[in-house]
Amino acid sequence: MIQISKPNIGQEEIRAVNQVLASGMLSQGVVTEELEKKFAEYCGTKYAVAVNSGTAAIHAALFAMGIGKGDEVVTTPFTFIATISPIVMLGAKVVFADIGENDFNIDPKEIEKKITNKTKAIVPVDLYGKTADYENIEAVASKNNLKILEDACQAVGAVRSGRKTGSFGNASAFSFYATKNIMCGEGGIITTNEKETYEQCRVFRHHGESLQKKGEYKNIGYNYRTTDLLASIALEQLKKVDEFNRKRRENAFLLSEGLKDIKGISVPGVTSSPEHVYNLFTIRVLEDFKTTREKLRDFLEEKGIKCGIYYSTPLHLQPAFKNLGYKKGDFPIAEKLANEVLSLPVHPLLSKNDIKYIIQTIRGYEK
Ligand SMILES: *Cc1c(COP(=O)(O)O)cnc(C)c1O
């Protein structure tokens, strides 16, 4: 079976974990600090705060940016639920804006239509590993005095106009979950250039305890700490991520070249661009393809190729958010793409033969 993702663990990670085990310091300590320092350097930001998931990173960052009751936060309906659940947890209102058809990311023009006097922040997502349109999103934010939290959970290492993910907006959130481009099983990290945001994230991570006065709690926080065991894995992965991403891009290029002329299949464009780090390689199965997306997926899985549908239901149509009052037809592009997307394996451990096999299998589909 060719998996849709596969952890890429070498001797370096194993050695690093063993060192932490032998050190006796298993919870958050010096290795976590080292990860924060190196990760901030990698992104070109002043600060980073490591936490125990990408969801925790989004939650802490939005808290640190002051998002709370009565505020509106504009975001995309075409993402993983964890982009928006922290907005709800903080008591703020989720306001969706539709995505662009070309890159699956939030459309800056749609953001502008959704701004009211209660809007406080925008949460764009770098979906599948491709950066959102930050030139225009930052222009909308500065014109309207809004904060930006970049959900870069799928996009570590992507570069847009010379800037890396992690450096867009006021803060960025990353995930180290097992399927992400840097992974340690579970984990996350926030990057920012703002001292205040950095400090508030650290406070929120550790029960709301004041940084100045131990034992004093000005507000309630969570236990969102990570452990040095996991940080040691992420630290080794960080050293390798540029090579991982180079391999992902190369695989994406080969897949695109092999699939682009098939009638009814649309492949992601500009595959050599550093804007995209291909956490997922997502094609669109259009109406004029030989069969439906679901039948193609079942066929590929029968042939030993694991595929994924990210995401089959846009968030505005999820039962959990019924109370937001959205209905079918509200975000036509997100709804259309949700019916067309199919993600194929693209991870760095694929061989040239695996890629050839994926291409041949799709080309050979017969009704
Ligand atoms: C993975 C992911 C998250 C959440 O990260 P976890 O580490 O699983 O909590 C949030 N947003 C996006 C877009 C993701 O892909």
Is ligand 1 within 6 A of the CB of residue 105?
Answer: no
Which residue has better confidence, 206 or 365?
A: 206
Backbone angles phi, psi at 357, to 5 degrees: -65, -40
Ligand 1 atom closest to the Cα of residue 180 is 1
Query: 343 forms bridges with which residues in the sheet?
Result: 282, 308
Is ligand 1 within 6 A of the CB of residue 119?
Answer: no
Ligand 1 atom closest to the Cα of residue 79 is 13
Residue with tokens 């701004």: 115
Average pLDDT of the chain? 97
User: pLDDT tens digit string along 79-119?
Assistant: 999 999 999 999 999 999 999 998 899 999 999 999 999 99
User: pLDDT tens digit string along 139-171?
Assistant: 999 999 999 999 999 999 999 999 999 999 999
Pairing of the two strands 265-266 and 281-285: antiparallel
User: pLDDT tens digit string along 306-349?
Assistant: 999 999 999 999 999 999 999 999 999 999 999 999 999 999 99
User: pLDDT tens digit string along 24-36?
Assistant: 999 999 999 999 9
Ligand 1 atom closest to the Cα of residue 176 is 7
Could you give the angle at which helices 195-205 and 54-64 cross, rounded to 10 degrees? Answer: 120
Ligand 1 atom closest to the Cα of residue 188 is 7
Please tell me the distance from the alpha carbon of residue 31 to that of residue 358, in angstroms, as a whole number. Answer: 40
214 CA → ligand 1 middle, Å: 31
158, two tokens: 């992507």
Of 4, 5, 83, 128, the one to substitute when testing ligand 1's pocket (max ligand atoms within 8 A of C-beta) is: 83
Please tell me the distance from the alpha carbon of residue 345 to that of residue 341, in angstroms, as a whole number. Answer: 13
130 CA → ligand 1 middle, Å: 15
Q: Which of 169, 173, 216, 218 is nearest to 194 (CA)?
A: 169
86-120: string of b/e by CB count within 10 Å (b at 16+)? bbbebebbbbbbbbbeebbbbbbebbeeebeeebb
Rounded to 5°, angle at Cα 221 from 219 and 227: 145
173 CA → ligand 1 middle, Å: 9
Residue type, 131: T
Q: CB atoms < 10 A from the CB of 225, how many?
A: 16
CA–CA distance from 217 to each of 70, 190, 211, 318 (Å)?
A: 24, 22, 10, 36
Is ligand 1 within 6 A of the CB of residue 52?
Answer: no
291 CA → ligand 1 middle, Å: 31
129 within 8 A of 155, measured Cβ to Cβ: yes
Is ligand 1 within 6 A of the CB of residue 177?
Answer: yes
Please report the pLDDT score of residue 272 as a whole number: 74
Ligand 1 atom closest to the Cα of residue 179 is 1
pLDDT at 271 > cutoff 90:
no
DSSP code of 234?
A: H
Is ligand 1 within 6 A of the CB of residue 175?
Answer: yes
Is ligand 1 within 6 A of the CB of residue 80?
Answer: yes
pLDDT at 359 > cutoff 80:
yes
Instruction: Give the pLDDT mean for 275-281.
Output: 97
Please report the pLDDT score of residue 18 as a whole number: 98
pLDDT at 366 > cutoff 90:
no
Name the band, by pLDDT with cuts 50, 70 and 90, for residue 273: confident
Is ligand 1 within 6 A of the CB of residue 71?
Answer: no
Query: 163 forms bridges with which residues in the sheet?
Result: 160
Q: Determine the 3-state secondary structure of 239 from DSSP.
A: helix
Q: CB atoms < 10 A from the CB of 322, how many?
A: 11
- Residues shown for the chain: 367
pLDDT at 266 > cutoff 90:
yes
User: pLDDT tens digit string along 173-204?
Assistant: 999 999 999 999 999 999 999 999 999 999 99
Q: Determine the 3-state secondary structure of 129 from DSSP.
A: helix
Q: Which of 208, 222, 239 is nearest to 15 (CA)?
A: 239
